[in-house]
Structure 1
């Protein structure tokens, strides 16, 4: 199926922090969550907003693009990294009081939760939305209704590459989707709980996402970035610059091997894969 950006303007954007073992440590963000309670060592740390349709805050700026990442305007160098993720588009069911009663997945797609590394930022969202084209989602998505770890997406995988000039490098570790700490019903039920019960405050980088959804009149859909995978050495140490291409791919491992996917990217044939492919050119901020 195809994802239409105009339609996605009505959907809220939510991310999951710490849903892949080791990513926060590589991103230098583990210390942000020292005081955040968790259900277990492998549990995600919380959820955060990256887009709220109709909000009069910075989160009201629509950040999604299919084809580019626009660097933020800044007088100082900013360290931006690709965050290769699976984006899950869900229909949202609400109770009469505005609490969420369920999330029903309708599609998954390659998603780039591109982030500015800002040590000490008060909230996760402060690293996420700096305006137009600060996020990416693939045009082509897989229609899904079941995310069970042993269900239709059990063999799906997530890969990420950086193309700089003539050099192409693996940026994220090619990983199976069931390799997420939480996946399937466990993940969706946990997100529902966090929407309804997660609180904010000065002592936490998290925010009351459920209250935010009520403030913007309960969007019927949410696009959820369910967490970034581990970086390769290149990904951990290389920040984006104008002219780069960020490539995130969600594919069915029954149709393509990791080696086949990497070879296609190196030959600039990634669009020929039977996959959800997001390719974004990094550009300077608009004047």
Structure 2
């Protein structure tokens, strides 16, 4: 396991993948946002930024993306009334970027994976995905311990990993996302890594889509050596699809080895408030707190 230091991520570009798990966009009410995006039926729709180091000083990047949004111990609700927030349980991928002679990203080398919460505001009418993603400090979650990896080969060490998530409210917990195999992502392994590089090279965005010129943002951030990517949210349970976060809740995301723990054992540990006992798992526990 890798013990994460949040400060080590302050110079790491933060990205997310939209539509990498069948059915999630429809459940989140966001499928219609992508009608103008050309993509194969089984492919993700694109990538989006949630953190761009130095964005506050870059004219070509929305300044709010310069706020460091990651936390390991809480979700801070945005100020304002009537804002609906949902957990977005994902695998977070920390990867090193190799650049070509032309300065464009040429390859990604995985370093670690772990539990990630791409917590989102359901904000109808938002022009860009990023407008739902970073509303200030502690608007995103990353587990304090990650699993070291050297590749994402579906037949390799990550083949037995699973992703689960839960909502704890008033002392009781319930599954928020559908417990799923990590290799069940639409794009995974080398296919995902090559696609991410292609999007960093060629996704330019437009006024007609919610996508943005992420390659330009990467350059504006000084071509950082690493990126953190939320590779996509699972489908919701009925509770997750209809239940929004409120002050006093706790959001829990777990990436675990399915050969070591069963889904039932993970659910029981969370129900008992003993998720820390899941040895070898990457566990993110975020109490939900009101905005300062």
Q: Deviation digits for residues 128-169 of structure 1, max 9, x if unmatched? A: 000100000001100000111111100100000000012211
Q: CA deviation at 1:125?
A: 0.3
Cross-structure match for 2:288: 282
Q: After superposing the two structures, state which structure 1 stretch, 147-156 or 224-233, moved more.
A: 147-156
Q: CA deviation at 1:97?
A: 2.6
Q: CA RMSD in A?
A: 0.6
Cross-structure match for 1:52: 52
On the 8 A contact 2:96/2:227 being kept in 1, the answer is yes
Find the aligned partners of 1:35 and 1:105 in 2 and give their Cα distance: 31
TM-score, normalised by the number of residues in structure 1: 0.98
On the 8 A contact 2:142/2:284 being kept in 1, the answer is yes
Unaligned runs of 5+ in 2: 57-62
| Partner SS, residue 286 of structure 2 | strand
Q: List structure 1 segments (4+ residues) > 4 angstroms apart after TM superposition.
A: none
Unaligned runs of 5+ in 1: none
| Partner SS, residue 266 of structure 2 | helix
Q: CA deviation at 1:199?
A: 1.1
Cross-structure match for 1:129: 134
Q: CA deviation at 1:121?
A: 0.7
Match of 1:114 among 115, 119, 125: 119
| Partner SS, residue 226 of structure 1 | strand
Find the aligned partners of 1:119 and 1:147 in 2 and give their Cα distance: 34
Cross-structure match for 2:95: 90
Count of residues in Structure 1 that have an aligned counterpart in Structure 2: 284
TM-score, normalised by the number of residues in structure 2: 0.96
Find the aligned partners of 1:271 and 1:165 in 2 and give their Cα distance: 20
Q: Deviation digits for residues 51-89 of structure 1, max 9, x if unmatched? A: 001111100000000010000011x21000000000000
Find the aligned partners of 1:230 and 1:84 in 2 and give their Cα distance: 9
